[in-house]
A and B are shown apart, each in its own frame.
Chain A
Amino acid sequence: MTVILDPTGERSVAARPRLARPESLDGLRIGLLDIAKTKGDIFLDRLEHRLTERGLQVKRYAKPTNTRPAPTSLNQQIATEVDVVIEALSD
């Protein structure tokens, strides 16, 4: 029997359960995150317009660059200020 050593970062969990999706956006604070990809702002502008039309509360956020993960402080700010967040992922 061969014994080998695990080459992975074994301490990280294999999977994390996602939070349940809300049934409805009514009464929730909604964050819109621009990850700084081209034209993401156009998409989010439109989304903000549609959401506020429905009387929902919207806050806008932006990553400094799309080439790096969001700064921890931004993640913390979003987590404390809104209930759900929508990202504009693509160009």
Chain B
Amino acid sequence: MNSPDTHLPDNNLPDTGLVAVVKRDCQTCEMTEPVLAALARTGSLTVFTQDDPAFPESVPHEYDSTLDISHRLKIEVVPTLLRRESGREVARTFGWNKSEWRELTGLSTLGEDLPDLRPGCGSKNIEPGIIEDLLVRHGETGLQSRRVELGAQEDEIEALFDRGWSDGLPLVPPTEARVLRMLDGTTRDPKEVIGKIPSDLAECTIEKIAINAVMAGCKPEYLPVVIAAVEAVLEEPFAMHGVLATTMFVGPVVIVNGPVRRSIGMNAAGNALGQGFRANNTIGRALQLVIRNVGGGRPQEVDRATLGNPGKLTYCIAEDEEGSCWESLAAERGIAEGKSAVTVFAGFGLQGVVDQKSRDPESLAQTFAECLKALQHPKLYLGADALVVICPEHERTFREAGWSKARLYDELYARTQRSAEEVLPGAGGIAEGTSAFASGTMARKFRDGGLMIVRAGGGAGMFSGIIGGWSASGEKGSSPVTKEITF
């Protein structure tokens, strides 16, 4: 009666009679074998086994090798015993419950030697990795997106390049099963529309984000971070359309704060802005793929960047909160302790800040200020916003001197000022410059709120960094946006 590797059609179910579903890897199922044997002798029992085609040895059974029968019967626990009449299920019990089994079978002495109760085990058809394939095979995923059938001779990876969906690197093919597993990472409804993505202003659902997150290489637990990043760039102050369309270098830089950094394994230590860490690298990439694919924002099209920057592939940073003596960026921006958040910033590249000699905070702050003054151009005042990434060995100097983060901000706003005359067009033999500041006054490099400070990086090396912003920073263009992550 065993038929391993054979797909069981649904009509293998008896119209009328008892059906039991069991598996070898379940002690309760093994315990009930004598009971099943007794029921089989009554002639009205059909047994399906999920894992071992030989089990149960003493009872005739069918092997549900594809688990299609278990799935169709919506089995969640084994053993399950159910009664069918005229093609319909009329009663069900699961695990071993002596009184329920007796009631369902009408046999008042069934299982005399067994205990009254013994809980069952998880059914194999609902195991992660299996349930998704069953939902796909049975057309029950509920996913809305258009299905794209790749040709039998088509290489999957090449096919994704050919359709214009890639950022230039290989993508993971977004099969239905992978997208379903990705959606397990959030409790949000896949159909929920979170906004319209520039430049096409196409509606973006949680499902579309999940598809692009699969392609980017994300794990399901990263999905809430990706969703929050997409929500953040869609907030009006971020001006995502302009960030995309500008000829300047910028793209969204994602800064992650809170417990989620550790739970999903983000890197905030050595090589904090570099390669090699899946969460950091794929979260930033997923955001860019959403912009590209859902929004239609592609380079040399609506993305008019002259040079762009390598961070437009992916730019996602975790702050080293545990190592920092200061409040986190998210805390500064109103996120409660213990919550996770993303902050998006229209930024580009990295300008290194090298200072291996300063041991007092005044000297080191002046180093940061001199480097910040050069951002974009030493005479562009008011300039773009900037994100300052302070390495541990630099942070230590401020920490040991008792400088608060607020103190450092104040010092940097003050120390980056230059006289209005110095930044005039033509001054210093350079035509570029600004005449926006009255003669005799000090020109400001940064608007209020235009500087952000985070700590990240490895323990050795007095090498911090400046991530420059867009010339159109602030109300005239893009402001950083912080968004709490919902799970």
Q: A3's contact among B176, B202, B472, B477, by CB below 8 Å, is which? A: B176
Total interface residues in chain B, CB < 8 Å: 42
> In residues 1-54 of chain A, which contact B (Cβ within 8 Å)?
1-12
Check if A55 is an interface residue, CB within 8 A of chain B. Answer: no
Task: From B2-10, B289-297, B321-329, give the one contacting chain A.
Answer: B289-297
Q: B202's contact among A5, A12, A68, by CB below 8 Å, is which? A: A12
Q: Indicate if the CB atoms of A8 and B478 lie closer than 8 Å.
A: no
A58 to chain B, nearest CB (A): 27
Q: Which residues of B contact A4 (CB under 8 A)?
A: 147-148, 150, 156, 160, 173-176
Task: Please report the C-alpha to C-alpha distance between residue A90 and residue B163 in the assembled complex, in whole angstroms.
Answer: 32
> In residues 127-185 of chain B, which contact A (Cβ within 8 Å)?
143, 145-152, 156, 160, 165, 173-176, 179
**Per-residue contact bits, chain B 279-291, to A (CB 8 Å; 1 contact, 0 not):** 0000000000100
- Given A4-B174, A4-B175, A68-B241, is A9 in contact with B294 using a C-beta cutoff of 8 Å? yes
Check if A67 is an interface residue, CB within 8 A of chain B. Answer: yes
Q: Indicate if the CB atoms of B204 and A9 lie closer than 8 Å.
A: yes
**Per-residue contact bits, chain A 53-73, to B (CB 8 Å; 1 contact, 0 not):** 000000000000111110000
Q: Indicate if the CB atoms of B145 and A3 lie closer than 8 Å.
A: no
Q: Which residues of A contact B149 (CB under 8 A)?
A: 1-3
Q: Indicate if the CB atoms of A6 and B477 lie closer than 8 Å.
A: no
**Per-residue contact bits, chain A 66-84, to B (CB 8 Å; 1 contact, 0 not):** 1111000000000000000
A87 to chain B, nearest CB (A): 14
Q: Residue of A at shortest CB range from B171? A: A7
Q: Residue of A at shortest CB range from B197? A: A9
Q: Residue of A at shortest CB range from B236? A: A68
Q: Residue of B at shortest CB range from A13? A: B200
Total interface residues in chain A, CB < 8 Å: 17
Task: From B207-215, B217-225, B355-363, B392-400, give the one contacting chain A.
Answer: B207-215
- Given A11-B202, A67-B476, A67-B478, is A5 in contact with B174 using a C-beta cutoff of 8 Å? yes
Please report whether the interface of chain B is mostly helix, strand, loop or mixed according to DSSP.
Answer: mixed
Task: Please report the C-alpha to C-alpha distance between residue A69 and residue B201 in the assembled complex, in whole angstroms.
Answer: 11
Q: Which residues of A contact B204 (CB under 8 A)?
A: 9
**A/B pair count, beta carbons within 8 Å:** 89
Q: Indicate if the CB atoms of B179 and A69 lie closer than 8 Å.
A: no
Q: Residue of B at shortest CB range from A2? A: B150
> In residues 363-414 of chain B, which contact A (Cβ within 8 Å)?
none
Q: Which residues of B contact A6 (CB under 8 A)?
A: 145-148, 211
Q: Indicate if the CB atoms of B147 and A3 lie closer than 8 Å.
A: yes
Q: A5's contact among B146, B200, B239, B476, by CB below 8 Å, is which? A: B146
Task: Please report the C-alpha to C-alpha distance between residue A91 and residue B132 in the assembled complex, in whole angstroms.
Answer: 54
Task: Please report the C-alpha to C-alpha distance between residue A1 and residue B293 in the assembled complex, in whole angstroms.
Answer: 23
Q: Indicate if the CB atoms of B200 and A9 lie closer than 8 Å.
A: yes
Q: Residue of A at shortest CB range from B141? A: A5
Q: Indicate if the CB atoms of A5 and B145 lie closer than 8 Å.
A: yes
Q: Which residues of A contact B293 (CB under 8 A)?
A: 7-9
Check if B242 is an interface residue, CB within 8 A of chain A. Answer: yes
A45 to chain B, nearest CB (A): 21
Q: Indicate if the CB atoms of B175 and A2 lie closer than 8 Å.
A: yes
Q: Indicate if the CB atoms of A5 and B148 lie closer than 8 Å.
A: yes
Q: Indicate if the CB atoms of B197 and A65 lie closer than 8 Å.
A: no
Check if B203 is an interface residue, CB within 8 A of chain A. Answer: yes
Q: Which residues of B contact A65 (CB under 8 A)?
A: 476-477
Task: Please report the C-alpha to C-alpha distance between residue A65 and residue B295 in the assembled complex, in whole angstroms.
Answer: 21
Q: Indicate if the CB atoms of B174 and A68 lie closer than 8 Å.
A: no
B143 to chain A, nearest CB (A): 6
- Given A67-B472, A69-B241, is A5 in contact with B150 using a C-beta cutoff of 8 Å? no
Q: Which residues of A contact B147 (CB under 8 A)?
A: 3-6
- Write 14 A-B pairs (CB below 8 A) sorted by A numbering: A3-B175, A5-B146, A6-B211, A8-B296, A9-B200, A9-B203, A9-B204, A9-B294, A9-B295, A10-B146, A12-B202, A67-B472, A67-B476, A68-B241
Chain B: residues with CB nearer than 8 A to chain A?
143, 145-152, 156, 160, 165, 173-176, 179, 197-198, 200-204, 207-208, 211-212, 215, 239, 241-242, 246, 289, 293-296, 472, 476-478
10 more contacts with CB within 8 A, not counting A3-B176, A7-B289, A8-B296, are: A2-B150, A2-B173, A4-B173, A5-B175, A5-B176, A5-B179, A6-B145, A6-B148, A7-B145, A10-B146
3 smallest CB-CB distances across A and B, nearest first, come from A9-B202, A67-B242, A67-B477
